[in-house]
Amino acid sequence: MRATKIALEEHVNPPELADAAARFYPPETWTRLREPLLDIHGRLLAAMDASGIEITVLSLNAPGIQAIPAKRQAVDAARRANDYFAEQVAQNPKRFLAFAALPMQDPEAAIVELTRCVQDLGFKGALVNGFSQTDDPATILYYDLPQYRPFWAAVEQLDVPFYLHPRQLVGERSDVHGYPWLQGSAWSFGVEVATHALRLMTSGLFDAYPKLTVVIGHLGETLPHAMWRLDHRIHAIARGVPAKKTVTECLRNNFYVTTSGNFSTLALMNTILAIGAERVMFSVDYPYEAMAEAAAWFDRLEVISEGDWYKIARGNAEKLLRIDTVKQSGASA
């Protein structure tokens, strides 16, 4: 019998923030999502039990704190969300862990909140829902900007992962105008996160902070499949690129990817060939994807070795998140 799994990209909402997210979804979609996002110890736990998922790392549903332009409000909302996560984990610490929500609109406040969450609350890192809006809602901030260097220094010092998750765009991408089915999770989310990740890589961030670890979902948002061409063309045509490390070096040394929302055997095998099984972790993307579907696909995989299967199922997450398997023992359904 195969081992139980650890899932890292599973989203919930504190009750007080739940309805603030409604404006980002069609009414019928929000009606379907609202209760699963709120019911941690009922629906989520039952789905874990039925799918052989031993531990879930809770994170704030997108766009979360990143869509609160007022800095003071963002700081306050992040602290309240993290206190809520800590309360939920305390109710069932064998089954739940947490990633911190961060007010990236204010890099100094983000440092303070991440430090509190890791050192005082025992969180395993942070999950941030893409770029942040600040002051003027049309103004967006990407985290390769110079003001974020002290934040990244703090992340490296704390030695925890930073999960870069998609969020709804501000306005409509011109390249999918008139094609609403290509917006959001079908295509635009992946483009946004991949571009953000490439900004981080090519800015020289990982030269300055070589021990940084960033996680991205959906089997790497196509980046493992594009890294040869990226490096080839950047070398061929670019001038003045700050980074010394190549995209390939960053993906293989500073990034992990998860299976969240991409249950494709071919894509998984290609990703393993590109960056190694040691850089891949199981996840679902609950409640947007079904834990049962993710588990049915992954548990039946026979095209990878049992050793690689175990690494992806839980071994890599145990190592990255420093999960004490002795303390967590007895948590299996």
The rounded distance, in Å, linking the Cα atoms of 275 and 278 is 8
CATH numbers and ranges of domains, the chain: 5-328 (3.20.20.140)
- Full-model pTM: 0.94
Strand stretches in the chain, DSSP E: 5-12, 53-60, 96-98, 126-128, 132-134, 136-141, 162-164, 214-216, 255-258, 280-281
Active site residue 285: yes
Residues 238/246, Cβ–Cβ less than 8 Å? no
Q: CB within 8 A of 121, min separation 6: which ones?
A: 82, 85, 86, 98, 100
Strand stretches in 152-207, DSSP E: 162-164
pLDDT tens digits for the chain (333 residues)? 689 999 999 999 998 877 777 777 777 877 788 888 899 999 999 999 999 999 999 999 988 999 999 999 999 999 999 999 999 999 999 999 999 999 999 999 999 999 999 999 999 999 999 999 888 877 889 999 999 999 999 999 999 999 999 987 776 666 777 888 878 788 888 889 999 999 999 999 999 999 999 999 999 999 999 999 999 999 888 778 999 999 999 999 999 999 999 999 999 999 999 999 999 999 999 999 999 999 999 999 999 999 999 999 999 999 999 998 645 554 443
The rounded distance, in Å, linking the Cα atoms of 305 and 71 is 48
The rounded distance, in Å, linking the Cα atoms of 98 and 78 is 13
Q: Is 65 helix (H, G, I), strand (E, B) or coil?
A: helix
Q: Is 92 helix (H, G, I), strand (E, B) or coil?
A: coil
Identify the active-site residue in 106, 144, 285, 308: 285
Determine how many CB atoms are found less than 10 A away from the CB of residue 259: 28
The rounded distance, in Å, linking the Cα atoms of 193 and 196 is 5
